Amino acid sequence: MSVVPLGWLGIVRLGLVQSAIGAIVMLATSLLNRVMVVEYALPAALPAGLVAWHYAVQLSRPVWGHGSDRGARRTPWIIGGMAVLALGALLAAGALPLLAARAPGGLALAIAAFAMIGMGVGAAGTSLLALLATRVAPERRAAAAAITWIMMVAGIASTAGVAGALLEPFSAARLTRVAAGVAGCAFALAVVALLGVEGAAPSRALATSVETSRRGERSATLTTALRTIWADSEARRFTLFVFVSMLAYAMQDLILEPFAGLVFGLAPGASTQLSGVQHGGVLVGMIVAGVGGGAFGGGRGEGGETRGLRWWIGGGCLGSAAALAGLALAARIGPGWPLTANVALLGLANGVFAVAAIGAMIALAGSGQAEGREQAGLRMGVWGAAQAIAFGLGGLLGATGVDLGRSWIDSPATVFTLVFLAEALVFVVAAALAMRRPGRQQDMTPVARARGGGMTT
């Protein structure tokens, strides 16, 4: 007896949960960031440090994933994580007036609040992805990744628009009400969307059939479980790929608008519109990868889904590298370059590689279910931690690279040329990792050998 895979409605409902997570994260890392710098005139380093701190806390993702593996159901972990995330966002909003007034305890409250945000994202997000990995049929995983991430982006965009409008005219009391409204509505949406999706605890027949293996997994310590995963060559390679690709992805995030302003002379509004073009391209790329990965990704058969998705991942990474090389060339040519089209291409390639990588992540995390292993949460936690490190480090490297380059080189165009070329090279390395085939049989884990070579990315 096996668990019935989720249908499209179930996948969309989990996408609503991802939208709720994205809405609260946007509130904490984007809206509050702007309020601290603009309305409260606090140093920009303060919100940057708090956002970096929330990424650092997400190194705990393997702990939450391992905990959800050991439990009978993942829904309580998702709801618990959402509760911590929502409360953390409320505390962060409450800390802002204290920070502005230089009140004792304001910084401590903000640090605690962003720690809760990091923990909430880690617990809810990791368990949600593990639920997708274990409950979505192989041929639907690429489409499921696209659906959930598109819904997350839509949730972020819609929340940003509504919250921004409700904040006018700004006041500390209005900010508290908006934060409470966003956090409360997102938590309620997640709870309602999760009702009945996972179902009850495993049936008696299923529990009996895998009781021995599950007892061994549940009694294993986190350290032992991590060692087991790290012994899998495919898991190690994929962890490295996640880190390298997300490092390249994050490096461009903080420098695109400054590049448009310094080299092309675009006004703040125009550079913001350019960022919107990039995000629109990301959405199109996600749709393309979701539809194409499901239809042409080799989703049926042992290991077929990741073999097919590997080409989408590699193509997205190489496309991103080509677009960044184009931006490097744009820095040399200047205003005559078709900048908007170049940025749209960058967004499209980013969206393709991101959704294909997430689809492969879901596939690899759920690949052990046939053997009765419950490690989907832990695997997602390991990869989520690698992504968090890459996001925090990538943004820092990109911005620092520009700052250091401008201190050594008088020409901003030359600085951006070098930085964009470096980012393109990182994407090429990520593509090479994605396209690499499995090692020889003797290098594989026993489970991978039993499955005829395992999955590839």
Contact 12/151 with Cβ under 8 angstroms?
Answer: yes
What was the pLDDT predicted at 127? 93
How many CB atoms are closer than 10 A to CB 57?
20
Token digits of residue 52: 């970096």
**Helices and strands (H, E) in the chain, number of each type:** 19, 0
Over residues 86-108, mean pLDDT: 93
Which of the pair, 246 or 298, is modelled with greater confidence?
Answer: 246
What was the pLDDT predicted at 404? 84
Q: What is the pTM of this model?
A: 0.78
Confidence of residue 452 (pLDDT cuts 50, 70, 90): very low
User: Is the predicted pLDDT of residue 449 greater than 80, yes or no?
Assistant: no
What was the pLDDT predicted at 177? 94
Q: Give the Cα separation of 32 and 331 in Å (integer).
A: 32
Do the domain assignments include residue 205? no
Do the domain assignments include residue 391? yes
Residues 156 and 240 in one domain: no
Do the domain assignments include residue 152? yes
Do the domain assignments include residue 52? yes
Residues 163 and 303 in one domain: no
Residues 183 and 234 in one domain: no
What was the pLDDT predicted at 437? 62
* Selection from 310, 348, 311 nearest residue 326 by Cα: 348
What was the pLDDT predicted at 429? 94
Over residues 35-58, mean pLDDT: 85
* Selection from 302, 304, 400, 313 nearest residue 45 by Cα: 400
Token digits of residue 303: 């290991």
What was the pLDDT predicted at 374? 62
Contact 96/172 with Cβ under 8 angstroms?
Answer: yes
Which of the pair, 5 or 95, is modelled with greater confidence?
Answer: 95
User: Is the predicted pLDDT of residue 295 greater than 60, yes or no?
Assistant: no
Which of the pair, 397 or 119, is modelled with greater confidence?
Answer: 119
Residues 171 and 234 in one domain: no
Over residues 88-103, mean pLDDT: 93
Residues 170 and 254 in one domain: no
Q: Report the percent of the chain where pLDDT is more than 70.
A: 83
- What is the phi/psi pair of residue 11, to 5°? -65, -40
Over residues 69-93, mean pLDDT: 92
What was the pLDDT predicted at 222? 67
Confidence of residue 406 (pLDDT cuts 50, 70, 90): confident
Region of poorest pLDDT, from 17-21, 63-67, 359-363: 359-363
The per-residue pLDDT for range 176-223, each reduced to its tens digit, is 999 999 999 999 999 999 998 887 554 433 443 434 444 444 445 767
What was the pLDDT predicted at 438? 52
Burial (Cβ within 10 Å: 0-12, 13-18, ≥19) of residue 377: buried
Q: Which of 187-196, 277-286, 306-315, 367-376 has the highest mean pLDDT?
A: 187-196
Do the domain assignments include residue 182? yes
| Amino acid occupying residue 358 | I
What was the pLDDT predicted at 161? 81
Angle at 104 between CA 102 and CA 105, to 5 degrees: 110
Residues 81 and 192 in one domain: yes
What was the pLDDT predicted at 186? 96
Number of domains in the chain: 2
Residues 99 and 191 in one domain: yes
What was the pLDDT predicted at 283? 87
Q: Give the Cα separation of 307 and 454 in Å (integer).
A: 10
Q: Which residue range is the domain that position 84 belongs to?
A: 8-197
Do the domain assignments include residue 449? no
Which of the pair, 28 or 233, is modelled with greater confidence?
Answer: 28
Sign of torsion over alpha carbons 89, 90, 92, 93? positive
Distance from CA of residue 245 to its chain's centroid?
12
What was the pLDDT predicted at 2? 53
Average pLDDT of the chain to the nearest whole number: 81
Residues 394 and 330 in one domain: yes
Classify 202 as helix, strand or coil: coil
Residues 233 and 288 in one domain: yes
- What is the phi/psi pair of residue 202, to 5°? -50, 145
Residues 313 and 243 in one domain: yes
Residues 239 and 178 in one domain: no
Which of the pair, 305 or 266, is modelled with greater confidence?
Answer: 266
Do the domain assignments include residue 447? no
What was the pLDDT predicted at 3? 64
Confidence of residue 307 (pLDDT cuts 50, 70, 90): low
CA distance from start to end of the chain = 29
Confidence of residue 362 (pLDDT cuts 50, 70, 90): confident
Sequence-separated contacts (24+) of 402-408 with Cβ below 8 Å: 402/255, 402/258
How far lies 251's CA from each of 49, 159, 398, in Å? 17, 25, 4
Over residues 336-358, mean pLDDT: 91
Confidence of residue 420 (pLDDT cuts 50, 70, 90): very high
Q: Which of 68-72, 180-184, 204-208, 416-420 has the highest mean pLDDT?
A: 180-184
CATH code (residue 237)? 1.20.1250.20
Residues 192 and 251 in one domain: no
Do the domain assignments include residue 443? no
What was the pLDDT predicted at 301? 41
In terms of phi and psi (left: phi > 0; alpha: psi -120 to 50; beta: otherwise), the region of 5 is beta
How many CB atoms are closer than 10 A to CB 400?
12
